[in-house]
Amino acid sequence: MTKLDGVISTLGPSGTDSAHEARKRCSSVLLFPSFTAAVEHAEQTDEYALIPAGYLDFKEGQLADTWVDMHFRLLGRMRIADVWESRTKTMCLAINQERVANLGSIRSIALHPATAVFARQACAGAEISFASSKPLAVQAAASGHVDACIGSVDVVAESNLKPIEYFHPTMVWTLYRAEK
């Protein structure tokens, strides 16, 4: 994959799959609290924005935005410069052992909306709290707000959480640039 000249804006904080994938393509990466903010910055600066096809945004438990919605909103303003498939960082279901002992005792879980399928498969019935990124889901579990989370293994390793199941998905990535 060819390295890009310029800047890629994408979702932070550090530790997101988006930040990881952007750094594979470009040495200059800016992280934002939302994909919307990343796209706005890229459009204003005539640089790149990296958005995964799995982008979902929930507000107060309701689906507020998706990749396809964003893509259609960007028509005439931003164009797709590249699309590719790539493995995400290895993910895991991790528990806070101060709250629960094992998979069967999970009552609450924090996760990024795009990873909800893993929670439904592993611990159906657990109350789900959505976070805007997997690192923030890990923080919620590590701080004791929920019993468990789905996060990237490297981020979980920096916490007090115990991984109990692993996932190895791929993602489709879309790189946008302002229309000219």
Chunked into runs of 10 residues, the chain (180 residues) has average pLDDT values of 88 94 96 96 96 91 92 96 96 98 96 94 94 95 98 97 97 93
CATH fit for domain 91-167, picks 3.40.50.1820, 3.40.190.10, 3.30.365.10, 3.40.50.1000: 3.40.190.10
Kindly list the distances between the CA atom of residue 63 and the CA atoms of 16, 108, 162, in Å, as whole numbers in the listed order: 20, 19, 30
* Gap between the Cα atoms of 86 and 129, Å rounded: 27
Angle of CA points 162, 165, 168, to nearest 5°: 120
* Gap between the Cα atoms of 74 and 43, Å rounded: 10
CATH number of 8-88+170-178: 3.40.190.10
Helix residue ranges, H only, 35-111: 35-45, 67-74
The pLDDT score that the predictor gives to residue 1 is 67
The pLDDT score that the predictor gives to residue 5 is 87
Whole-model pTM? 0.86
